[in-house]
Chains A and B, each alone.
Chain A
């Protein structure tokens, strides 16, 4: 029987997640994580941000960012534990837990963005 391996797909999602998070996250962390809390720039108003997130294109970008970032994390986390820290005997458990967390996280993102639209 020919078994199709999920590994190539997982690597593709990992790298897509790496590019998308690399492009979008630095500016988002700078604003939401540092500049707004420090008061360097004023945080968006509730209505302003809510309207922005309700935009279908913004929602799609945010969903893509969240889902691919979670998968990027899951894949890299699993491989670092396996190759880097050599926790090989727990490989299956770690895979199920990390990809599981990524799927649940993506589901939560989809639900929130759907409710906000």
Chain B
């Protein structure tokens, strides 16, 4: 059942001999596991986007639907999912901002802005954005 070797399937190219890696390769090392958790964070980003759309739909429907949405959000299953989601979106934010200095080279005139400054800029932006959102939502 398990193939030990497989051939590359690129047409018009000499065939490669490749060792087949187990589907569960990411369980071999903590660094691999961290990689798959980082990639997996996108599922929670997706879930919360759907959650936001459900909230908007409830708002559009009326006050009763909004109350029902709030009650549903407090049910144990949804609450547990959202607590896990919070952990993953924070992990996502940190890992994504950490990669930013490598992905973007910012220049001021001829000098390159230090990678640490780019990283700090992202964290500062995160703090400001969070504060502004919290300010408006807690005042609503």
Residues of A that sit less than 8 Å from B by CB: 15, 17-19, 21-34, 36-38, 41, 43-46, 48-53, 58, 62, 65-66, 69-70, 72-73, 76-77, 79-80, 84-86, 105, 108-109, 112-113, 115-116
Contacts and interface: CB of A to CB of B under 8 A. Distances in A.
Given A31-B134, A66-B49, A70-B49, A23 B73 contact: no
A76 B60 CA distance: 31
A85 B27 CA distance: 12
In this complex, the member of B42, B74, B78, B82 whose beta carbon has the largest number of chain A beta carbons within 10 angstroms is: B42
Given A36-B73, A113-B56, A25 B48 contact: yes
A87 B125 CA distance: 37
B39 interface: yes
Interface string B8-28: 000000000000010100100
Interface in B29-73: 35-36, 39-40, 42-43, 45-46, 48-53, 55-57, 59-60, 62-63, 66-67, 70, 73
B7 interface: no
8 contacts: A26-B86, A32-B73, A52-B136, A66-B49, A80-B40, A105-B49, A112-B56, A113-B56
Contacts, number: 154
Interface of B: 21, 23, 26, 35-36, 39-40, 42-43, 45-46, 48-53, 55-57, 59-60, 62-63, 66-67, 70, 73-74, 78-79, 82-83, 85-86, 89-90, 92-93, 96-97, 100, 103, 122, 125-126, 129-130, 133-134, 136-140
B45 to A, nearest CB: 5
Contacts of A23: 93, 125-126, 129-130
A52 B140 contact: yes
Nearest to B92: A22
B125 to A, nearest CB: 6
A37 B73 contact: yes
Contact of B140 (A26, A51, A105): A51
A82 B27 CA distance: 17
Nearest to A44: B140
